[in-house]
């Protein structure tokens, strides 16, 4: 009798443990699926099974990993070009400007020398005039250069943002030297 009670208790415990594990896995699946932006889904979330949602998450993670690798490569390329210019004594090549569209956002990177004071407010106003809202600004010093990185989000997603126009306007400001003061 005691043996059957013990076996029924252990079965009940195993069932409870398995039930709790399934509940936990389902919650983790929903949490994972909620991190995927809707624009990266092939179908609405309501029509996807949990397995399909996990597959979509894996595909999205792969896209993000490739994007990070591309950005790291771009960063290394820019750092290399700055180091080459520095070694060659070509500080006149500064500033270096790159404007890239990142989905529903824009990244503006401006590399300038230490001897130039940077008018950050003017750059932010250009970006905001082009229908983008500046979300983050990172400023870091690399050797004798200062790297300004601005991330902006498009205000109206269906309109988008014209990165070429942003780049041209910033180049115009740089060339007229109104962006810098000594």
Higher pLDDT, 121 or 178: 121
For the cut 90, the answer to whether the pLDDT of residue 18 exceeds it is yes
Per domain, the residue ranges of the chain are 94-181
Q: pLDDT, tens digit, for every residue of 27-50?
A: 998 888 888 888 878 888 888 888
Q: pLDDT, tens digit, for every residue of 115-173?
A: 766 678 888 888 888 878 899 999 888 887 888 899 988 887 666 677 888 888 888 88
Place of tokens 């500046």: 134
Structure tokens at 38: 């809707």
Give the model's pLDDT for residue 14. 93
pTM for this entry: 0.48
Give the model's pLDDT for residue 159. 64
Higher pLDDT, 109 or 160: 109
Whether the Cβ atoms of residue 145 and residue 111 lie closer than 8 Å to each other: yes
Give the model's pLDDT for residue 181. 43
Give the model's pLDDT for residue 110. 87
Query: How would residue 3 be classed by pLDDT, with cut points 50, 70 and 90?
Result: low
E-strand ranges in the chain read 96-102, 105-113, 117-118, 132-142, 145-154, 180-181
Query: How would residue 21 be classed by pLDDT, with cut points 50, 70 and 90?
Result: very high
Give the model's pLDDT for residue 118. 63
Whether the Cβ atoms of residue 56 and residue 43 lie closer than 8 Å to each other: no
For the cut 80, the answer to whether the pLDDT of residue 54 exceeds it is yes
Whether the Cβ atoms of residue 137 and residue 121 lie closer than 8 Å to each other: no
Mean pLDDT of the chain: 82
Give the model's pLDDT for residue 179. 44
Report the topology of domain 94-181. Answer: Alpha-Beta Plaits (3.30.70)
């Amino acid at each position: 009798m005691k043996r059957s009670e013990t076996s029924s208790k252990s079965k009940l415990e195993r069932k409870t443990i398995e039930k709790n594990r399934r509940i936990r896995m389902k919650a983790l699946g929903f949490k994972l699926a909620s991190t995927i932006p809707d624009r990266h889904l092939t179908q609405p979330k309501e029509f996807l099974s949990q397995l399909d949602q996990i597959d979509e998450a894996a595909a999205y993670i792969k896209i993000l990993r490739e994007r990070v690798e591309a950005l790291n490569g771009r960063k290394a390329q820019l750092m290399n070009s700055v180091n080459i210019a520095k070694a060659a004594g070509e500080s006149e090549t500064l500033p270096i400007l790159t404007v890239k569209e990142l989905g529903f956002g824009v990244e503006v990177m401006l590399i300038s020398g230490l001897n130039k004071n940077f008018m950050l407010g003017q750059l932010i106003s250009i970006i905001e005039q082009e229908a983008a809202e500046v979300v983050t600004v990172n400023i870091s010093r690399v050797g004798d250069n200062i790297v300004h990185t601005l991330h902006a989000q498009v205000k109206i997603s269906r309109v988008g943002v014209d990165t070429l126009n942003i780049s041209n306007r910033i180049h115009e400001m740089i060339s007229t030297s109104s962006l810098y003061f000594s």
